[in-house]
Amino acid sequence: MPHIVFEDKKEIQFPKKVDDIEFIFEAVSKHESKILTKVGELEFLLSKKEKSSKDGRCLHILKSDKATRPSKAYVIKKALTAFVDTYGVEPTFSNINNLKDYTKQSNTYLKEIDYFTNDFNTTKEVWVEIGFGSGRHLLHQAKKNPDILIIGLEIHTPSIEQVLRQIELQEIENVLILNYDARLFLEFLNSNSVGKIFVHFPVPWEKKPHRRVYSKEFVDEALRVLALNGTLELRSDSKEYFDFSLGILTDLTQCHIEIDINKDLEISSKYEDRWKKLGKNIYDLTLTNNILSPSSQNESSFEFDSIDINGLQEKLPTKSLVKDDYFVHFEKLYTITANSVLVEVTFGSFNKPLSKFILIENSKARYLQGNPLITKANTKAHKTINEILKND
């Protein structure tokens, strides 16, 4: 991680702008501050923390703040270099000189979640594969069904890189890959828009069942996005996972369930080969959707009411607010001026908590780096945050 260590000898003034780099303000809390920085159009925070030194000097470490960190290390290097030049600080340590202007090559088939919230639009039938691992099944289905668009979800980066290489080598064009938690992804798809969802050999999480892909909420979302006669297909070697999933499905009325043991598929995955060699049973649980779902109401407002920052610190709950399907935790308040503060807050879904900064200036508030993704959990959490922050 690019960072510098320097002795804080002189007062540092804000704002300062040099070329396309701007240091806008410093927001201060105990032992730590955040510097709002802009490189071109990109807005992020630099984090400045006290660092103990053996000879009693007042040293500070300056690096990119984790929650707002730009994806390209080069941008952080540029900001740190400009900080050194602009304020004339003399680093006692720096690891920014050997960073190259490396901008990761974009890949047509690798998408960010924003693509699915803003731009995703297709006339093709969509299938989704969750946790594709080595990608054998995903690639097989994509080649066999060129008219289908297959979205592959995975959270293991080496598997994603390996499958992206195969997509290129095999010249497959009907696949989109996303590094995102499958438990939360279906929320971004339109109702009745998916033909098949494959969940093959999900991690059984025997000791932590709450981490399983299958849950009542997941199955409800799957039923909403599945088209009429669309299927949700579980294949697993874990009898416990199979029983657990069956337990969720048997309460449902709008679908048909089919169970198989040791069914042969056209393609066998790495995991399947391993379990077959060990002579283990393989269970299939297929749910077919029988109803049309109403379109999802994912409209959301992330606006804030007017906020009085006087006494705000005392108003912020010190404990996490935990509800059934979301939480809010106020981390820290940073002071900028008499009229402005920065509030660090973690919130949203338990499976994918979001860390954001809220900038409040002259009673008006906004999320730094834009609004949160529109999800049910984020929308509910925002309402709670606004209720706490707003004027009584």
Query: What is the enclosing helix (H) or strand (E) of 289?
Result: strand 283-289
Shortest Cβ 69–ligand SAM spacing (Å): 22
Print the binding letters for residues 187-216 with ligand SAM: x by CB under 6 A, - otherwise: -------------xxxx---------x---
Residue 152 binds ligand SAM (CB under 6 A): no
Shortest Cβ 200–ligand SAM spacing (Å): 4
Shortest Cβ 18–ligand SAM spacing (Å): 43
Q: What does the DSSP assignment read for 111-180? A: E-HHHHHHT---SSEEEEEES-TT-HHHHHHHHH-TTEEEEEEES-HHHHHHHHHHHHHTT--SEEEEES
Residue 181 binds ligand SAM (CB under 6 A): yes
**Closest CB to ligand SAM among 200 and 376?**
200
Shortest Cβ 154–ligand SAM spacing (Å): 5
Contact (Cβ atoms closer than 8 angstroms) between residue 18 and residue 88: no
Q: In whole angstroms, give the CA distance from residue 14 to residue 253.
A: 62
Size of the chain, expressed as the number of residues it contains = 392
Interface of this chain with ligand SAM, residues 26 to 85, rule: CB under 6 A:
none
Q: In whole angstroms, give the CA distance from residue 81 to residue 98.
A: 12
Print the binding letters for residues 111-140 with ligand SAM: x by CB under 6 A, - otherwise: -------------------xxxxx------
Contact (Cβ atoms closer than 8 angstroms) between residue 230 and residue 293: no
Contact (Cβ atoms closer than 8 angstroms) between residue 305 and residue 328: no
Residue 263 binds ligand SAM (CB under 6 A): no
Residue 182 binds ligand SAM (CB under 6 A): yes
Q: How many CB atoms sit inside 10 A of residue 8's CB?
A: 14
Residue 164 binds ligand SAM (CB under 6 A): no
Q: In whole angstroms, give the CA distance from residue 281 to residue 28.
A: 59
Residue 270 binds ligand SAM (CB under 6 A): yes
Shortest Cβ 192–ligand SAM spacing (Å): 23
**Closest CB to ligand SAM among 155 and 322?**
155
Shortest Cβ 179–ligand SAM spacing (Å): 9
Q: Which stretch binds ligand SAM (CB under 6 A): 53-61, 93-101, 244-252, 269-277?
A: 269-277
Q: Which of 149, 148, 287, 310 is nearest to 223 (CA)?
A: 287
Residue 389 binds ligand SAM (CB under 6 A): no
Helix (H, G, I), strand (E, B) or coil at 226: strand
Binding site for ligand SAM (CB under 6 A): 130-134, 153-156, 159, 181-183, 200-203, 213, 269-271
